[in-house]
A and B are shown apart, each in its own frame.
Chain A
Amino acid sequence: MSLRMFILTTAILLAFPAWALSFQGFVQSFDEGGSITWGNGDVTVVRVLLPPGEDSSVKLTPLSVRKVASSARKQMLDMIMSVRIDGKRTVSAFLSDDAELAARVRGVVHNSPFERPAMFEDGGEVRVSEKFRGKLAELVLPTTIQFQSGVPPKLSTSMEQNLSYQDGVPEEAGVGARGYTGVIIDASGLQVTPALAPVIYGQDGLGAYGPFLVSRANAINKGVVAYANTSNPTALRDRVGNNPLTVRALSAYGSWRTDLIISSPMAQLVRSVMRSGSAAANCRVVIVLKTPVKVDSEADVQSEEGLQPVKEQ
């Protein structure tokens, strides 16, 4: 192997470690080539460029490529703005009160990595991407969220009577929790809207996991939760470790169905898992959703059936 190939291979292996490639998670598709990968936080818009002749309206010049990239970035900004931070607000609603912060988010999006075809004559695609991690997450996660407060939020009413289903009572809380390396919440039977800072509640109405257990730095760098479309622990190992606790969600909660309710005994066990080990510190929680849906990118508009606001319980 030549030295150049060796350096290239090593660089790729180190720069893109296996965990970055192996887990993308739940993919939310938007119009015109947009998608948010809720496992790793990638926000991407891909636009296909046709070679000359196939579409006379698009001539493949550097200027036209830049126009396409600009339009893709605008779409990406709309997608980011439409994302829900929690049950109460979207990114757009949060930024509407702070013009300076909104300008910074626009700045980050307009500085987003951008790939284009090497030879314009051959067509190809323009891809712009950003990540709901690091700088972007730092800007869009409100500092008013009480990260790592340790004080669980409480629902105004207990859900004990509202939900008939309960999981089998697990082992007593605190007894075996130390062995669990993370938590998988299976919400695949429910209509749930992915959010940046969701809360998992027990049926007793008390928060079991959410921003109140996670530092702001970890929420920014790892995401409070990851969303996946499989509950297979092997596929989720990078996020939840070798021995995750799998819990079935009983219902989604809130106007936009961003939060989840689990049974009270399971909530107790989740609290124990979070207290022991490094599960909370590493945000080792995955929410499993059903097959991806396509939604419009308009801010505050969720057009899919099942994503309509429901009355607060």
Chain B
Amino acid sequence: MLKARFIIVNFVVCMWLLVGVASASEVRVFKPMEEGVSPMALRKTAMAEGFAQAVLEEAKLMLPGDMDEVRTELFKAYLKDHSQPYIQGYKVLSSQSMEAGLILRLDVKVNKLTLRNGLKSMGLFTTMNSPQSASVVWPEDFDEASMTQLQGLMTLTGIQAVQGASPTFVIEQGPKEIYKARFELDTREWVSTNKDMSVVWFELWSRYFNRSEANVNRANVQKLSVTGWFSPDAALEFDRVLQSWDSTVQEVRLVELDMQPSGVGGTWEVRLLSGDRLAMLLQGYLPQRGLTYQISEDAGK
């Protein structure tokens, strides 16, 4: 019976890993032919859309909750112009040009570390499950397009505008369609200027989310203890395995290696993206190697 349960757990873990890997790498895009758009430009747009789709799929695996439809669309639209830093490489698997449009199949390799840092800076880890209150101030004569874009950025980041709340984000529209914004937090202030409102927005909000991230996510840090090795090399190898489960744990830190005559044990602090997934992976990996583990929530206390 134990063996049967063991096989089922392994199977589920394997399937989960396979699905995770496959969904992140290969994307298929169809771009309908548009009048006045050259084949080259159409291909460029299709590529950008393919990259955005690949990054979005990878981000969904990393984030600690499900994005709602509106937020997903906003994020995808944002990524069409801003996915480049997250693309490690790509391969065009096939390109089929028809009268109706272009079908492009891409194998995209996403840089997970950069993406994770990007998602952190954008506040998506923090606001995925509960919005962040802030004062957001814009000029009375803000044009409609700018207003729509600002509201989209607020929804994407998960910012709930509350009058008088801290931090404060103040945006102005300067000459030559340049946006200038100021971000106030406690007694500190940052300023950013750019033609692209999203650049201004995320540059300033990254100050906040990167600064406060450690405190915000402390609740997700847990202690993982594993015992049963015969060699410290084995514990260090498991450290690498743990680090590679990057859609399950956001940060991994080996805090203690306990070497006793009876065996070697290790203790890690892990910042979780999904406790259930981690438990499933541990169950699929450790018992079959004669190892036992325990997860507790008292890390850092």
Contacts and interface: CB of A to CB of B under 8 A. Distances in A.
B11 A15 contact: yes
Interface residues of A, number: 25
Contact of A112 (B2, B14, B233, B289): B289
Given A69-B290, A111-B289, A15 B7 contact: yes
Contacts of A69: 230, 290
A70 B237 CA distance: 16
B295 to A, nearest CB: 19
Q: Which 9 A-B pairs have the closest CB atoms?
A: A107-B237, A110-B234, A11-B11, A107-B233, A106-B233, A70-B230, A110-B231, A114-B290, A15-B11
A18 interface: no
A216 interface: no
Contacts of B165: none
Interface string B86-125: 0000000000000000000000000000000000000000
B30 interface: no
A111 B11 CA distance: 20
Interface of A: 4, 7-8, 11-12, 14-15, 63, 66, 69-70, 73, 103-104, 106-108, 110-116, 118
Contacts of A107: 231, 233-238, 240
B229 interface: yes
Interface of B: 2, 4, 7-8, 10-11, 14-15, 228-231, 233-238, 240-241, 262-263, 288-290
11 contacts: A7-B8, A11-B8, A11-B10, A11-B11, A66-B290, A69-B290, A103-B233, A106-B233, A107-B231, A107-B240, A114-B288
A112 B263 CA distance: 16
Nearest to A13: B11
B8 A111 contact: no
A11 B262 CA distance: 36
B263 A111 contact: no
B53 to A, nearest CB: 24
A118 B1 CA distance: 11
B230 A116 contact: no
Of the listed residues B4, B7, B10, B237, the one surrounded by the most CB atoms of chain A closer than 10 A to its CB is B237
Contact of B288 (A63, A110, A113, A118): A113
A70 B235 CA distance: 14
A69 B11 CA distance: 25
Contacts of B238: 107, 111
Contacts of B8: 7-8, 11
Contacts of A103: 233, 236
Contacts of B241: 111
Nearest to B5: A8
B243 to A, nearest CB: 13
Given A63-B262, A66-B290, A107-B235, 18 more contacts: A7-B8, A14-B15, A15-B10, A66-B263, A69-B290, A73-B230, A103-B233, A104-B240, A106-B231, A106-B234, A107-B233, A107-B236, A107-B240, A110-B233, A111-B234, A114-B290, A115-B288, A118-B2
B7 A116 contact: no
Nearest to A10: B11
A116 B290 contact: yes
Given A15-B10, A66-B230, A66-B263, A108 B290 contact: no
A114 B289 contact: yes
A161 B11 CA distance: 56
Of the listed residues B10, B231, B288, the one surrounded by the most CB atoms of chain A closer than 10 A to its CB is B231
A108 B289 CA distance: 11
A113 B237 contact: no
B107 to A, nearest CB: 13
A11 B288 contact: no
Of the listed residues B14, B228, B290, the one surrounded by the most CB atoms of chain A closer than 10 A to its CB is B290
A106 B235 CA distance: 11
B129 to A, nearest CB: 32
B7 A11 contact: yes
A291 to B, nearest CB: 33
Of the listed residues B228, B229, B230, B238, the one surrounded by the most CB atoms of chain A closer than 10 A to its CB is B230
A4 B7 CA distance: 12
A156 to B, nearest CB: 38
A113 B289 contact: yes
Contacts of A113: 288-289
Nearest to A103: B233
A152 B15 CA distance: 39
A110 B7 contact: no
Contacts of A12: 7
A134 to B, nearest CB: 12
Contact of B14 (A4, A7, A15, A63): A15
A110 B230 contact: yes
A177 to B, nearest CB: 25
A15 B241 CA distance: 21
A253 to B, nearest CB: 36
